[in-house]
Amino acid sequence: MHSQDFQDFHCSCFETSFGATRAGLSVEALLRLRGDERVEAERLVLLAVETGTDSRPILAAGHLKLQSAGPILKQRLTGPIDNARPDNRVHAAWALFKIDNCLEAGHIIVDVLKQTPRHQQWARMMAVESLADFGEVSLAVTPLFETLLDDDGFIAYLATISLKRIFGSKSAVVNLLNEIQLMQTGNKVSANRAGIQDALEQVKVLTGTHSSS
Mean pLDDT, residues 113-140? 96
pLDDT over threshold 60, residue 212: no
pLDDT digits (tens, 9 = 90+) for 101-114: 998 899 999 999 99
Mean pLDDT of 132-136: 97
Q: What is the mean pLDDT of residues 73-89?
A: 89
pLDDT in tens, 12-51: 999 999 999 999 999 999 999 999 999 999 999 999 999 8
* pLDDT of 211 above 70: no
Instruction: Quote the pLDDT of residue 187.
Output: 86
Q: What is the pLDDT of residue 83?
A: 79
Q: Assess whether pLDDT exceeds 60 at residue 158.
A: yes
Burial of residue 4, with CB atoms counted within 10 A of its CB: 0-12 exposed, 13-18 middle, 19 or more buried: exposed
Best CA proximity match to 140, nearest among 94, 107, 95: 107
The three-state DSSP-derived secondary structure of 175-189 is HHHHHHHHHHCCCCC
Residue 79: is its pLDDT beyond 60? yes
Q: Would you place residue 209 in the very low, low, confident or very high pLDDT band (cuts 50, 70, 90)?
A: confident
pLDDT confidence band for 82 (50 / 70 / 90)? confident
How many CB atoms within 10 Å of residue 1? Answer: 4
Position 6 pLDDT exceeds 60: yes
Residue at 72: amino acid letter: I
| Rounded percentage of the chain residues whose pLDDT exceeds 70 | 98
In sequence order, the 6+-apart residues with CB closer than 8 A to the CB of 31 are 63, 64
What average pLDDT does the segment 65-80 reach?
93
- pLDDT, tens only, 83-95: 789 999 999 999 9
Q: What is the pLDDT of residue 213?
A: 43
Question: In angstroms, rounded to a whole number, what is the distance separating the alpha carbons of residues 89 and 77?
Answer: 6
Mean per-residue pLDDT for 152-165?
A: 97
